[in-house]
A and B are shown apart, each in its own frame.
Chain A
């Protein structure tokens, strides 16, 4: 009994794994094409996970499995947001995938496996468990991208994703082994202690750090390790693109926090400089290249790169304030990204992908409400108040100004001006141009309700951003207090 209750911080993961096994078996007996029962079970599993995460929440930091696993406020908050975004993604993509025959048991299983991977990443406290979670997520994603077997672009995207992802994992492992060599530990907190007190071989540490940062940059899609992002975003079925572009960013944030901030805080002076280069390049290349895109998914891919650059600005300022603002940025980004890809899927029909910029022409005349929601999302991505995207940029820039990175801030601001141009172009297409087709938009009640909630949330959080900001700041603060 004591063993069972001592596992309580990991109940959510265990529950998910059990349910996953059940669902995989149950699904074998479901012949229905729509897989309604499986779908509902997945949604209920996510709901159950959130209830368990809330119920097992405890103040302070709990470690488990020989310090492999940590449960703190940050991990709980990030996990809850992960469940939410996975569940939203399923609602958005259901009819889209059904129309393409991709809404299969395997897909739902992979989604849950990926979710489990993210949960492990978020709660990992040791290089081994961090890597375990990362690979569980990545392998599920490779398979999801390749799910549409008869599409050449999808398989190409999956191939690229897999090869470059494997290389990134290699980088990470190499860097981790260097750190292990220098400190003799894989434990995140222990490494920090050893570096602080033992003053081990500095060259080896920085050498390992460089590889780790390169690996992280690959996973985040930061320039110059971004080549896979546009191809994968473009090639994968939109539902998978949405998945890649949403919840994994939260897990990636946790990953960066655990490695760079918790383990390698003493080397901040080194990684802060590296991240500055990555951030500036990402914002520059992402925003400028996005202008040239005619495909909305590619454009959003480059916009993701730019957003990741912005998120790094918060981390590289190296203060608790900065980490909190980065977390807020990641959460806000996920919200906007879900809405953006959700809109593409909403406008897509059977055999037709609304992923071309011209498909948005005259949307205001076809459906003023959807156009308004997209307007809110685009202005939020551009960072124009009163939408929440502004506060994401605001808090990150504020953290950077407080630590004296004025030049960086001015550059970030100028590149976000460049970014505003292509978001505005979408608004222009929707409002100023005449529609190319007058075909009726076939709306599903669940996804159209969700897009309304999503769009209005962007506005509502923009008018009252205080609570979410504080939640992010407090949870980062608590997890860093040892």
Chain B
């Protein structure tokens, strides 16, 4: 416990301070310095999260590493931080990805390097804040603030249609957030003047219709971020236009924030509405799994394909939440972490190809394995993980969610299991067209294999995918108590009779 009481504050603010330092290096003449400071900041940012795990008490579902200070006294808003077995994993995941993103953008980003690196570091800190906040307004501030760096990242370093994608991303998310703000204000009134999320969990909301309205307000905020069908359309646009680092953070981190919102707000605060609307949520999740899976099959653009695959995989997550049993819930959480590794890795793979050929179209490739054997091997592993091959992390979560779904209703499980076929189909078909076969054209013929910097990133991710696939127990272990507590909350109706 180096930082003791302030550990979570350090986890949030250290990347932000480093981000500002990077920003201070100014223009591109100091690009090298900016990159170095960014890397140091990102690695330190990851290192300070390690005590969160080593000092974590697995036996309790109470919040740990709590920081509690007055912030805005007038509205009883506090600087209140803390983690449970669920949020601690996501803070770790987020901090783990920041150095990878910095390394991935090391050479590729040549213009406005300092601003690029700073945006990622600042966002990393803000996302940690979202996961650690226990005061609803603090949560909201972090939640909204993280839009700003992402907006800039997509808009400045993105592809040709970046402006459209950035604005669409921002407005879509803002719409949801603003309705959530109204819901939070209402809860503030109902809870007798408290913004504490823990208090919200115990706030009586006896009328089902009010719970349903609040549920929809939260739903707008979280489903857009997840994203769930039918509000998913911003994601393919944002992914395609974002630079590689932006896509990685979007897929690995941003989508998790939405799902986390369901666990932290919608389900424990509104248990009755959650049960009442579960059929709708399950239906939307299954549509995402099946229909979006089919949509992914037809994509000609690799990034779009992985984007649709993300939506489909996130459908698994929301399905796991709303079947209300331990298998489903833990499976969904494992799926979130696994999807972070796998989708992040796949976007990095596509980034490697894009940096060399400057095309994301599948037809522009073919026979890459002949020129880039090492890369092809890594890509293979991640593609397999994306299709849910046993032994990779992708399998664990999907398998557990399907098990949970069988308990709830056989047909849910049946529909969900179709992803094992569709997922394999679209991922491996893309892989085949890009990697195998004869060398397709001159661009491919001139490809050179990945260097040490890229191999380092892929090795780290490959190890994570395999470790989580072969030995997921530590992950499940840390979240177990908190998940049980959440299920107890969900089983306690607030509406009497």
Contacts and interface: CB of A to CB of B under 8 A. Distances in A.
Interface of A: 364, 368, 375, 379, 384-386, 390-391, 394-395, 397-398, 401-402, 406, 409-410, 413-414, 416-417, 420-421, 424-425, 427-428, 431-432, 464-466, 469-470, 473
Contacts of A395: 75
A266 B162 CA distance: 55
Contacts of A421: 167, 171
A385 B155 contact: no
Given A384-B144, A401-B189, A469-B72, 15 more contacts: A384-B174, A385-B144, A386-B141, A395-B75, A398-B75, A401-B186, A406-B186, A413-B178, A421-B171, A424-B167, A428-B163, A432-B162, A432-B163, A470-B74, A473-B74
A401 B181 CA distance: 11
A409 B166 CA distance: 27
Contact of A466 (B74, B151, B167): B74
A379 B152 CA distance: 12
Contacts of B155: 428, 431-432
Nearest to A403: B189
Interface residues of B, number: 36
B274 interface: no
B71 interface: yes
A30 to B, nearest CB: 43
B170 A409 contact: no
B182 A401 contact: yes
10 contacts: A368-B27, A394-B185, A398-B75, A401-B186, A413-B181, A414-B178, A417-B174, A428-B155, A431-B155, A432-B156
Contacts of B75: 395, 398, 469
A391 B112 CA distance: 32
Contacts of A424: 151, 167, 170-171
Contacts of A428: 155, 163, 166-167
Return the 9 tightest CB-CB contacts between A and B, nearest first. Answer: A385-B141, A413-B178, A401-B185, A466-B72, A432-B155, A385-B144, A386-B145, A398-B185, A469-B74
B402 to A, nearest CB: 38
B148 A379 contact: yes
Interface of B: 26-27, 71-75, 112, 115, 137, 140-141, 144-145, 147-148, 151-152, 155-156, 162-163, 166-167, 170-171, 174-175, 178-179, 181-182, 185-186, 188-189
Contacts of B166: 428, 432
Nearest to B163: A432
B481 to A, nearest CB: 32
A82 B3 CA distance: 45
Nearest to B71: A466
Nearest to B193: A402
A101 to B, nearest CB: 37
Given A397-B185, A398-B188, A385 B175 contact: no
Nearest to A372: B23
A379 B174 CA distance: 12
A410 B141 contact: no
A290 to B, nearest CB: 15
Nearest to A365: B112
A460 to B, nearest CB: 14
A271 to B, nearest CB: 24
A402 B192 CA distance: 11
A398 B188 CA distance: 9
A386 B149 CA distance: 12
A414 B175 CA distance: 7
B73 A470 contact: yes
Nearest to B155: A432
B238 to A, nearest CB: 14
Nearest to A462: B141
A410 B185 CA distance: 11
Contacts of B72: 391, 465-466, 469
Contacts of B188: 398, 401
Contacts of A416: 178
Contacts of B178: 413-414, 416-417
B144 A390 contact: yes
A396 B156 CA distance: 34
Contacts of A401: 182, 185-186, 188-189
Contacts of B147: 384
B189 A390 contact: no
Nearest to B140: A385
A155 to B, nearest CB: 39
A413 B167 contact: no
A364 to B, nearest CB: 8
Nearest to A409: B182
A281 to B, nearest CB: 20
Nearest to A432: B155
B171 A390 contact: no
Contacts of A385: 140-141, 144-145
A355 B421 CA distance: 58
Contacts of A473: 74
A385 B178 CA distance: 11
Contacts of B182: 397, 401, 406, 409-410, 413
A397 B180 CA distance: 13
Contacts of B185: 394, 397-398, 401, 409
A312 to B, nearest CB: 18
A39 B212 CA distance: 61
Contacts of A402: 189
A417 B171 CA distance: 7
A247 B53 CA distance: 53
